[in-house]
Amino acid sequence: MKLHTLALAALVALAGPAIAQAPKDTVKSDREQIKADKEKLRADRKAGDKDAAKADREKLKADKAKLKADRKAAKQANKEAKKEEKK
């Protein structure tokens, strides 16, 4: 039971700053992460490390999905902000 509580506390501690970030900031950081992933993938391919390249492709795929979700959230936040301005 204590392990579950500890894991939950760690999750809350790490998720707090991520939730507080502005949507545009998260999109920008996601783009930078994707760029870094691509460079790492190229380096692993050049080195001939197939296992690391496969892991990098999976991480890149996950980061692209996160970027897509963050873009959608930013777009929704902009719509809501414009709606509030009109009122």
Residue 87 CA, chain-centre distance (Å), reads 33
Distance CA 39, CA 48 (A): 14
Q: What is the mean pLDDT of residues 44-68?
A: 93
Contacts of 52 (CB under 8 A, 6+ apart): 44
Considering its fold, how many domains does the chain have in total?
A: 1
pTM value is 0.64
In a domain, 5, yes or no: no
19 neighbors 48 (Cβ within 8 angstroms): no
pLDDT tens-digit readout, 64-87: 999 999 999 999 999 998 888 887
Residue 39's domain spans which residues? 22-86
* Position 27 in a domain: yes
Query: Is there a domain that residue 10 lies in?
Result: no
